[in-house]
Structure 1
């Protein structure tokens, strides 16, 4: 399969000249850098010696009611009901294996992602949440918990289960409020469905609603983008995520050969700037290149969790797990046949299968330091020098001297204690992420898997 494109070794200035949209660095290293391990490892050994006092549990549901044309995630549309049932049962078995391997632990965050977790029936959702409580000991009432939904899958019974099980954040992909633009994304969707879904979510009493929007869609203009932003703001979501469109190989849009390169003008920078201004005027605070938080969003009252330092336990096919030294998962695919085969194998897994790890990426000291810097820098508040020193016993300026180039170019502010991206740096996050990828990880990603 094709990996997410990475930047060839080059100077920062050369990368900046390419334009701001090169690759989304939502994790490091990207899963396309994972490989079969030299030998399978026992799950208990992988977690031995790890700090398990503040873990994130992530459950991956790789099913959707439709496959969006832009999607390059590990997901499949319209699976057979039998496969969905067997998959849910396998995730519950996996929880048993994790329970036995982890020993004493504490989960402080929980999320169901996908795919579309709300594709599951209310009964299937209830089974998963019940097992998370009973098998893994997660306090559903007090643990901050989120779920991803799509408008057409929002139903009263599903929402009732999620709210009863302590879910406090619902994230919904709207992408655009223009009928023509959602058709261009190969995602048939009506505004009436979106509005009805938002109203149902509000009636159910979820404290946080996030809406995802996409800019750079074929046929989208600054005026139509502004209209979508205004439509989203009228719904007063607590969070808004803005995603620039990337057309990747082996996605629906990629197969149709719809490429940004065919358009002589890339309006995404102007659309991004317009969105930043409009959301700021509405009182939203920018957290990263993509995330904006409303002034009425509730404060996070849950236990502290840091993605840079705390572990993640992934459940389900495609879910990634993070320890300090090893990131692991099942294999990864984009195309339907390969995805289905991986999901089928997962659904057949027994306890012994789920008690071992055989695919992932082992992080040496350099990669651990690089990951910490990337994950810190690309969102607010930024890279805290004291946190880095506490974690690694050294200074980022010595370990990653190239970061000093950011302040010189006005992309970051460095006051000696905090390296934080400026507005110009946030706008270039999809350039800076690839720039910070190590040569070894870049080679793996470019080679595919």
Structure 2
């Protein structure tokens, strides 16, 4: 089994979504569901990296940004109305500032946790800090006022880039309660950054990291990439050690993927051995530096994680913006998905003209078997593994009865409490995750890729 089949950040992937007919009303979709997470998507970047297959466009003019924020506010208003209608009977959706802290199923401290039913929030993209300070202020205003969520009372993560992590923007983030900033550096070696089609200057990167630390935002995450053409264990260690100079609370180590419709899409070659070697080098260095491994990609300083009631296996997510996905226990939905620049621009243009946001347009309806499979994948790829008790409480069966996991052999550790991946198993997460996809999800993804 090859170690790098695909990154499973969500199941099912948006390429398995299809137009919904009929399009269900959001108030029906969310009936009896807990929102849990709020995600706001800004689809703009100052440049397109060679490895990027995210839903984003470059060079958006100011008038498009304004139109996008206008549409985001229209969407937020209609989504909020739908959530209030769907949960009014159970009082599951509270107004901002009310005391909605409940019991914590994970045992963490949730004092002053969720407002408006949300336990955590994120601004992603794209690059949210593509917006200037004034536009960022409006983004916070419309999110808080329209959605009724107090972002100073729940963990809020915001993505940024070296070119846009400027003091004026960071000041807005810090003043409005941002608790985590994630910055994509990818490499501290200029030649490697250029090889990954990410033009950036080391001085700009250093200045951005200094500014983030000066802002006082509690958690800094730095993204780094391994497997870049010309990268060696020595240059990889240089990037890791340089990042450690800022003592980030989190580091994400991403293997480079060559994907269709990206800047590196025509340079395909087999380099599994190089990436696997660099993975082990990076893991060893971070563990020696006192970090704990949370997943294949995520490393964290102990004691710096945000505690919330949110549980990705059982709670839902409300997504705002044309590239955001939303999910409940039985339906995952979004707008259309694309990677190619022309199609992305067309979808954004359609979004800013849209007035109807109270229905789900494109999505995937999860059967009981798919819900079980998603719970398995979302849990198993984390360092703490899958709680057999939580799975049994949710589905009434044991996971090993529902799924034959023998093919993963020595990569799994099973006891009465949990099923976990070994250290070798975590290294092969990008093979194990895709191997657990259902035949139907595989078919839909392959059908999309063939279009």
Q: Deviations over 1:92-135 (max 9, x none)?
A: 11110011000142111110001100101111111111122111
Retained in 2: the 8 A contact 1:96–1:135?
yes
Aligned to 1:101: 82
| SS of residue paired to 1:442 | helix
- Asked whether 1:115 is paired with 2:122, we answer no
Matches within 5 A, 1:362-377: 362-377=365-380
Aligned to 2:8: 25
* Distance in 2 (alpha carbons) for counterparts of 1:342 and 1:361: 19
| SS of residue paired to 1:397 | helix
* Distance in 1 (alpha carbons) for counterparts of 2:34 and 2:241: 44
* Distance in 2 (alpha carbons) for counterparts of 1:137 and 1:79: 28
* Distance in 2 (alpha carbons) for counterparts of 1:222 and 1:298: 28
Retained in 1: the 8 A contact 2:157–2:181?
yes
* Distance in 1 (alpha carbons) for counterparts of 2:233 and 2:434: 27
- Asked whether 1:68 is paired with 2:49, we answer yes
Matches within 5 A, 1:202-241: 202-241=213-252
Aligned to 2:293: 286
Aligned to 2:381: 378
Which of residues 170, 183, 203 is equivalent to 1:172? 183
| SS of residue paired to 1:40 | coil
Q: Deviations over 1:379-423 (max 9, x none)?
A: 1211100000111111111111x22443xx210110121001110
Aligned to 1:444: 444
Aligned to 2:103: none
* Distance in 2 (alpha carbons) for counterparts of 1:316 and 1:306: 22
- Asked whether 1:34 is paired with 2:2, we answer no
Retained in 2: the 8 A contact 1:397–1:404?
no
| SS of residue paired to 1:314 | strand
* Distance in 1 (alpha carbons) for counterparts of 2:238 and 2:198: 19
1:298, distance to aligned residue in structure 2 (A): 2.3
* Distance in 1 (alpha carbons) for counterparts of 2:129 and 2:344: 19
| Structure ranking higher on relative contact order (CA contacts 8 Å, 6+ apart) | 1
1:362, distance to aligned residue in structure 2 (A): 0.3
Aligned to 1:319: 324
Aligned to 1:86: 67
| SS of residue paired to 1:68 | coil
Retained in 1: the 8 A contact 2:161–2:184?
yes
Aligned to 2:334: 329
Aligned to 1:271: 278
Q: CA RMSD in A?
A: 1.2
1:38, distance to aligned residue in structure 2 (A): 2.0
Aligned to 1:343: 348
Paired residue total: 419
* Distance in 1 (alpha carbons) for counterparts of 2:435 and 2:192: 32
Q: Deviations over 1:119-173 (max 9, x none)?
A: 0111111111112211111121111001000000011111111111110100000
* Distance in 1 (alpha carbons) for counterparts of 2:283 and 2:327: 32
Which of residues 113, 135, 156 is equivalent to 2:146? 135
| SS of residue paired to 2:231 | coil
| SS of residue paired to 2:389 | helix
Aligned to 1:6: none
1:77, distance to aligned residue in structure 2 (A): 0.8
4+ residue runs of structure 1 moved beyond 3 angstroms? none
Q: Deviations over 1:179-235 (max 9, x none)?
A: 110001111111111111111111110100000000000111111111111111111
* Distance in 2 (alpha carbons) for counterparts of 1:135 and 1:33: 31
Aligned to 1:387: 390
Gaps of 5+ in 2: 85-91, 94-116
1:43, distance to aligned residue in structure 2 (A): 1.1
1:50, distance to aligned residue in structure 2 (A): 1.6
Aligned to 1:259: 268
Give the TM-score taking structure 1 as reference length.
Answer: 0.91
Aligned to 1:298: 304
Retained in 1: the 8 A contact 2:383–2:426?
no
Matches within 5 A, 1:3-18: 16=1
Retained in 1: the 8 A contact 2:8–2:430?
yes
Which of residues 399, 402, 413 is equivalent to 2:402? 399
Retained in 2: the 8 A contact 1:260–1:266?
no
1:299, distance to aligned residue in structure 2 (A): 4.0
1:49, distance to aligned residue in structure 2 (A): 2.1
* Distance in 2 (alpha carbons) for counterparts of 1:277 and 1:250: 34
* Distance in 2 (alpha carbons) for counterparts of 1:413 and 1:272: 21
Gaps of 5+ in 1: 1-15
Evaluate the alpha carbon distance shift between residue 405 and residue 417 of structure 1 in structure 2; reply closer, same or farther with a 3 A threshold.
farther
